[in-house]
Each structure stands twice: as structure tokens, then as C-alpha cells.
Amino acid sequence: MENFLDGTVCFKDKLAPSYINTTNPRYIEIDNYFYSGILIIDYYREYNEIIFRNIINNNINMSMSIFYEKQDTYKTIKNLTYFIGNVGVDLKQGNQNREDIDIAAFSYNDAKYIRKEIQVNNSDLYFLNVYILIAEDSIQKLEQALKSVEGILQASGMVTKRANFRQEQVFLSCLPIMENKKEVKEVSKRNVLTNGLLGTFPFISSNICEQNGVFLGTNIYNHSIVLMDRFNREKYKNANMCIFGTSGAGKSFFIKLLIMRYRILQMEQYIIDPEREYDKICNYLKGTLIKIGPTSDTFINVLDIREESIEEGKGYLATKLGKLRGFFSLVFGNIEEEKMAILEEKMIQVYLEKGITFEDKSLYKKYKNKFVFKSSKDMPILEDLYKKLDTRETRNLQTKLYPFVYGSLKFLNNYTNIKMDNKLIVADIYELGEDNLKYGMFIFIDLFWDKIKKERSKDKAIYLDEIWRLIGITSNKSVASFIYKIFKTIRKYGGSAVAITQDISDIFSLEDGTYGRSILNNSSIKAFFSLEEENILVLSKFANISEKEKIEIKALKRGEALMFIGEEHILVKIEANELEKQVIL
């Protein structure tokens, strides 16, 4: 009675299909799915590449089983020697006009070669069996898939045979139970030496599926998912990314997806937004949106020295002066070294008036019986420097600085009043206008760079949209060197720098592309969305792109990218769910 109440259905019964139909010799039917097998029965005599590359890189619903059976070396040599002796005698005594004399000669030479490889080069002889099982939900689709697979295999130099009347045996041989059914084993058996096994290695499809990775999309060729962990320090030399593509190709959509998915992981992210593209996603993710411009009420003091800003081997003031040289090179253009030296002298005087010297302890003040780092209110502002430039040698510099103090950019002449306690911060500099965007980009990058250096143990990222403005022809060596330094050293702070641009020619325009090339080479991950032919030609001078990949980049659809992830080159279709699309679009 207890057995009856417990029931008679076991786990194996729940796992088993509801029905299996094996009456048709051309396929097996299991739960409304049709399965048919293909045997590979012969191959080219010689291969110079991996023979299964083309069949694996497709989106046909199939499985493949490869069996290697190592043969006894002593027995193999004995059989080969016997064969060589018999055939050798036939070749000497036989009639040279026999039709099969050439085939016999080939077999004779092959046998001698195999014996030599085994005896001299310590190779082993294996028997190779390869079975392919295709599954579809209709007989018509199954037939189309079979013809497609046969075509690919035959184009690769393989002879195939359908497993008619042996479908069940191929099905079982393709299950993960390590069973090579003898009914199909003898038909598809082919001998291969150890060095030939390399050509049959099956795992050559470019797949990225990392345990702690973030979902990017699917492989365009075989529909496998792409999961990338760019902070995998054992696999990648750094977590930097370069993302290039024309307007509308999908690069901004891709960046927003990354931001959303890394936000779930609570990673610190800082975004430079010159085109006001990230406001919506920032608000949805409850990030901090910082705007600077004529109508904003948030300010950043260009002359701030922050506690986390110190560089290795340098003091606070020395580090700050180096950055300010870059900023004022943007403001004043390529000024002479003599004038730059005078400008630096004036800056040192301005800091000295606030009690700040090259001694790092001068940056601390006593507050409630303990020493704390000085705040923005304890720092000089641009107006202080402006007044110092009222001399004959620097009056032209003072004139150029006027808009930053009393003119259209006077919002930069204030003490910092922003809060930086959010893990997602977007710097909206759209209001600065086309001519002044580079100033805002530099100021925020300097600010975010200090934040990134604060705690090395945490993963963080800085996204530099329209990076060409800072490393292109409109910039200068000092600024470009600062940006390059971020890409070169951010790894040791646990960070990732992401360069984004649609202006490929501009990013390689300064110093014959030196800085663009350096940033590209210091990025382990590269994503190339659709590009115009002119930009592809420029990019090919600085990146290792094959002729085939050039064609692929030009033919990419919106939302598709050729990605270089470490050593892997893979075509990816960027995927998003409906909620992500609603937030982004």
C-alpha cells in the first residue's frame, strides 16, 4: 500500500522523453523533434589548418562527437612491416601496367612514413571517428540543415555519409556517455598520427564565456553567449577599452548597457558626457549628475589640490603644477617655455599666499585638535592667479584668462561645492559649447582621476566620450600625455579607462597618431562598430586588423561589433532586455 501511495514514477522516468520513434531510417523522432546523423568517412591527405573550424562557426543546431582510439605501438609496427614487405614484393614483381599500381605505391609509401614516424619521432597511431547529429523541429528544416552541413564539410575536403538505418547508433554515440557504437565505428574509422590530432582539435571557435563576466550579447556566427570579465587580471593585461563607431552604429547604446550592468555590481563609474546622452540613465540608476556651465549652480575649482591627488614619487604641489601646465596649455595655446616658466612661478606664488608650499604638511591644518586636509575654501581660485599676471611679461596671458574670471566662463572661478559620494557620477558639460568642451573634459577627468586613485582594492571605470578632443589635433602634448598616463597606469589602481569616439582620423591626428596608438595599444578590449571605409583605412594603420575583418567592420549592422577581447577576435551582436531598452532609448 505504501509503495502504491508513493507512486511508481522515478527520477529516470521524469527525465525520459514521452515517446521515441525509430521506424524511419532517415531520422529519429523524439518529442516532436527530428534527429539525423552524418558520418565523416574520409579526409584530405594533408591539412594546413584546423579542419573543423568552418563547421563549428555556424548557427546550425547540432552536436559533434569525436573519438580517438590509441593503437598498440608494437602491434602497429608489426602489421606495418608485414604490409610493407608484401606490397614491396608486389611492386617489384607486378605488372607496371596494372591500373591499381599507383594506389599500391601510395599505400606502400604511406605505410613506410607511418612506421618511420612511430619509430623515429615517437608518434602514436590513433583511429579517428567523427559523428555529427543535427536536430530540428520539422523534417523540412532538418533536410536543409543536413544539406548545409554536408556542403560545409565537403568544401573543407571531407567525405560524408548519412547514417541511414544507423540513426539510433549515431544518436547514442553523440550523447555524453562515451559510447562509440561498433555499427558506425568501422564505417567512419580513419587512422591519424599524433601530430595530425592537432588539426582535429574542436575548441577553436572564438567564444568568451567567463565565470564572473558581464553579458554583452551573442556570437554572430554560432549564437553562443558572450560574457566578459574585463577585470580578470590573470587573463587581461588591463581592463581598458576602446570603442569606435560611426554615429548611429550602436556604441552609445553599448556603453549605457555596460553602465547599467556594472551598476548592479555596485562598481564605481565616472562618465564624461559632452553630448548630454547619459542624463536619463543617470537619473534612473539614482546616480549623481553634475553640470557645469553658465546656468549651473555647481562649481569646480580648477586650482583645487585634493588629498588623493598625490602621485608616487611626487609631492602635492608638484603634482598639481604638472596638471595645471596641461590645463593652461589648452587655455593659452602652445606658449613658449619661457612664458610657461613665468606662469608656473606665478602659480607657486598664489599657492604660497594660501600657505601651501612644496612641503606636503602645508596642505594640512589643525581642526578640533587634529590635522585635516585643507578644503577648497583654503585653495586659491583663478582670480588670484589672474591678478598675479598683471605684469608686462604676462599681460597677454592675463587677457586670455579674462573670460575664465569675469567673462563667459566665470563659473570656473569658484570654490568647489559638489558632492562625490555616489558610485555613479555623470559629468554633463554640454552647456560649455563646442569651443569650451575641452576645458570641462580636462577638469572632470582630473577630478575623477583623483577619485579613482583613492582606493586600489575596488573596481572602477572612467568613460571618456569624444576623447578625440583631448588627444587629437585640437589638443596638445601635455594634455594628451596626461590622458595616456591614465590608460597606462589605471590598472594598478583597480580601474578601467574607456575611450569612445566616432572621429577615427582625429584621434590619430596629434603627433602622427602617437597618443591615439598608445591608448589603443594599452587597451586589452576593443570594440569596432560599423565604420566608413575611410575610417577603416586609418584604423588599419594602427590596429592589427585583417583584410577579412575590414570587410566585416564595413558590413556590420546597427548593434553589431567586431570585438578584440584579449587575443580573441569575435563578432558580437549586442543584446538587451526590454527594460534596458526602455531606459536607454
Are 461 and 482 contained in the same domain?
yes
| Three-state secondary structure call for residue 149 | helix
User: Within a domain: residue 511?
Assistant: yes
Residue 528, beta-bridge partner list: 244, 562
Contact 187, 39 (CB under 8 A): yes
Q: Cβ atoms within 10 A of the Cβ of 417, count?
A: 12
The H or E element that residue 34 is part of is strand 33-42
pLDDT reported for residue 35: 96
Q: Are residues 27 and 134 in the same domain?
A: yes
Q: Do 490 and 233 touch, CB atoms closer than 8 A?
A: no
CATH number of the domain within which 373 lies: 1.10.8.730
Cα 469 to chain center, whole Å? Answer: 24
* Predicted pLDDT of residue 542: 87
Residues 307 and 384 occupy one common structural domain: yes
Question: Which DSSP category does 310 fall into?
Answer: P
CB 145 within 8 A of CB 62: yes
pLDDT digit string (tens) for the chain, length 585 residues: 455 555 566 777 777 888 999 999 999 999 989 999 999 998 887 766 678 877 877 778 889 999 999 999 888 888 888 888 887 777 776 655 556 666 777 778 888 888 888 888 888 999 999 999 999 999 999 999 999 999 989 888 899 999 999 999 999 999 988 999 888 999 999 888 888 887 787 655 557 888 888 999 998 877 788 999 999 888 899 999 999 999 889 999 999 999 999 999 999 999 999 989 999 999 999 999 999 988 888 999 999 999 888 877 678 999 999 899 989 988 988 788 888 999 999 999 999 999 999 999 999 988 878 889 999 999 999 999 999 998 888 899 999 999 999 999 999 999 999 888 899 999 999 998 888 888 999 999 999 999 998 888 889 999 999 898 888 887 778 888 889 999 999 999 999 999 999 888 888 888 888 898 999 999 999 999 999 888 888 888 888 888 888 888 988 999 999 999 988 888 999 999 999 999 998
Pair 90, 53 in one domain: no
At position 152, the amino acid (one-letter code) is: I
Domain boundary among 523, 545, 571: 523
Q: Is residue 365 part of a domain?
A: yes
- pLDDT for the residue numbered 212: 85
Laid out side by side, the sheet with 525-528 consists of 225-228, 214-219, 568-574, 560-565, 525-528, 241-244, 495-501, 460-465, 268-273, 424-428, 288-291
Residue 249 identity: A
Which residue is it, cell 558580437?
Answer: 572
- Whether pTM > 0.85 for this model: the answer is no
CATH of the domain at 497: 3.40.50.300
Q: What is the pLDDT of residue 48?
A: 61
pLDDT at residue number 299: 92
Torsion of CA 569, 574, 575, 579, to 10 degrees: 140
Beta carbons of 437 and 303 less than 8 angstroms apart: no
Is residue 462, in this structure, part of any structural domain at all? yes
**Cα–Cα separations (whole angstroms), residue 256 to 374, 460, 517, 552, 576:** 36, 15, 25, 24, 11
| Shared domain check, 406 and 332 | yes
Residue 527 makes CB contacts below 8 A (sequence gap 6+) with 241, 242, 243, 244, 245, 251, 254, 561, 562, 563, 564, 572
Distance of CA 567 to the CA centre of its chain: 9
Neighbours of 88 (CB within 10 A): 14
**How long is the chain?**
585
What's CA 181's distance to the chain center, in Å? Answer: 42
Indicate whether 248 belongs to any domain.
yes
Are 411 and 380 members of one domain? yes
End-to-end CA distance of the chain: 63
**26 Cβ partners below 8 Å, 6+ apart?**
36, 162, 164, 167
Last residue of a domain, one of 523, 553, 577: 523
Query: Does the residue 553 lie in any domain?
Result: no
**Where do we find the cell 554633463?**
428
* Residues 384 and 335 placed together within one structural domain of the fold: yes
* Cell numbers found for residue 379: 585653495
Residue 334, burial from CB neighbour count under 10 angstroms (0-12, 13-18, 19+):
exposed
CA distance linking residue 486 with residue 305, whole number of Å:
18
Tell me which of 470, 493, 523 is where a domain ends. Answer: 523
Cβ distance 130 to 188 under 8 Å?
yes
Question: What are the φ/ψ torsions at residue 551 (nearest 5 degrees)?
Answer: -65, -40
Distance, CA of 303 to CA of 350 (rounded, Å): 10
Residues 267 and 413 in one domain: no
Cα-flanking dihedrals φ and ψ of residue 135, to 5°? -125, 135
DSSP E strand stretches across 340-415 = 364-367, 370-373
Helices in 97-250 by DSSP H: which ranges?
Answer: 101-120, 139-155, 167-173, 182-188, 194-197
Identify whether the C-beta of residue 427 lies closer than 8 Å to the C-beta of residue 290: yes
Containing domain of residue 264, as a range? 241-298+421-523
32 and 136: one domain?
A: yes
Count of the separate structural domains present in the chain:
4
Would residue 498 count as lying in a domain? Answer: yes
The verdict on residue 461 lying in a domain is yes
Do residues 137 and 163 share a domain?
Answer: yes
CA distance 188 to 182: 10
Transcribe 415-472 into DSSP letters: --------SEEEEE-GGG-GGGHHHHHHHHHHHHHHHHTS-TTS-EEEEEETTHHHHS
Cell of 162: 548519412
| Amino acid letter, residue 147 | K
Would you say residue 367 lies in a domain?
Answer: yes
β 159-162/190-193 pair status:
unpaired
Shared domain for 323 and 290, answered yes or no, is no
327 and 368 in a common domain: yes
